[in-house]
Amino acid sequence: MTDDPADSRRLQQARDRYDAAVLAEQQTRDAAAPARVRQAHRRAAGVRLVVVAAVITALGLLLAGWWAHGSADSMASTAADDQAAREAAEHAVVTMLTADPAHADRYVQDILSVSTGDQRIRIQGARDELEKLVAAQPRSTSGQVLSSGVVGTEGDKTTILLVAQATSPELIGGDPSQNRVGVTATMVQVDGRWLVQQTEAVS
């Protein structure tokens, strides 16, 4: 039996269309492959950027926290030093204003115990005069600090300004006709103690 030429042509055309469709699909896949690779690379790069950004953010927060913690610690340490220096200055000024004529030598020794540097040298050099001054007082003297505050810090020195009420303000350079005296005390830390390096009356 002989095939119908028309049927043969239609069959061949169908095969040709099928082959063309397969070829077109393959070409489309081949053409799309680089795009898919690029898209995959972009996605991977995007993920990496997100991770890097997260790490940078975490590091930034960590560093900020460390800096804030360090700053807070530094501020707290400075405040504690200022407080200790101020309290030591108050104690020293009260010591300088408190004298018993019956124990003039003890008065000088008490002042030396809160002094260092120039102040200590000056007191030691004027020890005899100080003892005579205290011994000549008609009665015991006393004083109290009314207010005080840190007015400056330079290196290891802290300057405190104090206002005191005293029965004998001349003991720290004040006017004997007044019962109040202002004084600046330069404080330095020696072996863990804040001591007076220098005092100066403020008019």
pTM, 2 dp: 0.63
Determine the Cα–Cα distance for residues 166 and 151; give it in Å rounded to an integer: 22
Which DSSP category does 191 fall into? T
Question: For residue 25, is it within any domain?
Answer: no
Of 69-83, 106-120, 129-143, 182-196, give the lowest mean pLDDT range.
69-83
- Its domain, for residue 91, covers 81-202
Instruction: Look at residue 23 in the predicted model and tell me its pLDDT.
Output: 66
The domain total for the chain is 1
Interval 46-99: pLDDT, tens: 454 455 455 556 655 655 554 555 555 566 667 888 899 999 999 999 999 999
Determine the Cα–Cα distance for residues 24 and 34; give it in Å rounded to an integer: 17
The secondary structure element, H or E, covering residue 201 is: strand 193-202
Question: For residue 71, is it within any domain?
Answer: no
Question: For residue 93, is it within any domain?
Answer: yes
Question: For residue 43, is it within any domain?
Answer: no
Query: What average pLDDT score do residues 190-202 get?
Result: 94
Cβ contact 105:135 at 8 Å: no
More confident residue, 203 or 181: 181
Interval 2-12: pLDDT, tens: 455 655 665 56
Question: For residue 3, is it within any domain?
Answer: no
Query: What average pLDDT score do residues 40-46 get?
Result: 52
The secondary structure element, H or E, covering residue 43 is: helix 5-97
Question: For residue 6, is it within any domain?
Answer: no
Question: For residue 108, is it within any domain?
Answer: yes
Residue 154 sits in a domain whose CATH number is 3.10.450.540
Interval 16-33: pLDDT, tens: 665 665 566 666 666 655
Instruction: Look at residue 202 in the predicted model and tell me its pLDDT.
Output: 84
Question: For residue 133, is it within any domain?
Answer: yes
Parallel, antiparallel or unpaired: strands 180-190 and 193-202: antiparallel
